[in-house]
Amino acid sequence: MENPEQQIATLPRIGDKAPAFTAVTTQGDINFPADYEGKWIILFSHPADFTPVCTSEFMTFAHMEPEFTALNCQLVGLSIDGLYSHIAWLRTIKEKIQFKGMKNIEVKFPLIEDISMTVAKKYGMIQPGESTTKAVRAVFFIDPKGTIRAMIYYPLSMGRNFDELKRALIAMQTADAYNIATPADWRPGDDVIVPTAGSCGVAKERMEDKDEMTCYDWFFCTRPLPLEKVRTQ
C-alpha cells in the first residue's frame, strides 16, 4: 500500500484525460473540464496568495489573457488558499500593484479555492520534497477534447516564462492543424518537421522530392510553414 506522500505526488500523464472536478472559484462554481469543452485550457497552480512571485505571474497572465482567448484558450488558476483570500488578493493587485509597466490589472479568469487540496492532489501539484502545504508552479495544457497534452513544473522560487507558455500552445495547435512537428526553439514562421517516413518507399520518395521539403536524410525532413498560415492570435 502506498504511503500518503506517494499518493500526494502522483502525477497525471500526457495523453491522460484531465482529472475532472467541481470547484468554487472567483468567477463562480465550475465543472472542470466539461465547462470548457471545445477550448484549450491552461490550468496552473501557484503556492499562495499575497506572495510576490505569484503576484507578478497573475498580473502577467491577466495582461495576456486576451492573447490566450484569441487562441481559443481558457485560463484557470488554483491555489490552496480560500475564496475570500483570493478575492482580497486580486483586489489588492488591481488597486495597488505595479509590475513592468502593468497597473490596474483585473484578473477575470477563474481562480480556484482548494483549501482541501483535493484538486492539487489530483494533479500532482503538492510535491512533498518541495512543500507539503503549498502547490508548486504547475502548468497543464489540456486540449479541446479534455486530454492533457503537456505539463510543466517549476519550483516555488521561480516565476514562469509566459512567452514560452504561449509558444507551447501555438506549437501544439499548429502540430494538430498541419500534422507536423516543431523543432527546437521553433517560432511561428520557422520551418517545421515532417513526420518520419513509415516505409522504405516513402523514405525514397522524400529523398527524391525536392519541391516542398528539404531532406537532410530520410528521417529528417523539413518544410516551410509561412507565418500567415500559423494561428498566433
Q: Spot the catalytic one: 54, 73, 215, 221.
A: 54
C-alpha cell at 68: 490566450
CB atoms within 10 A of CB 110: 22
- The verdict on whether residue 137 carries a ligand-binding annotation is yes
Which residues have CB under 8 Å from 28's CB, separation 6+? 110
Q: Which DSSP helix (H) or strand (E) runs through 139?
A: strand 137-142
Give yes or no: 54 in active site: yes
Instruction: Give CA–CA dist 202/161, Å, rounded.
Output: 39
Instruction: Give CA–CA dist 142/31, Å, rounded.
Output: 15
Instruction: Give CA–CA dist 178/124, Å, rounded.
Output: 32
Which active-site residues does the annotation give?
A: 54
Annotated binding site: 137
Annotated binding site for substrate: 137
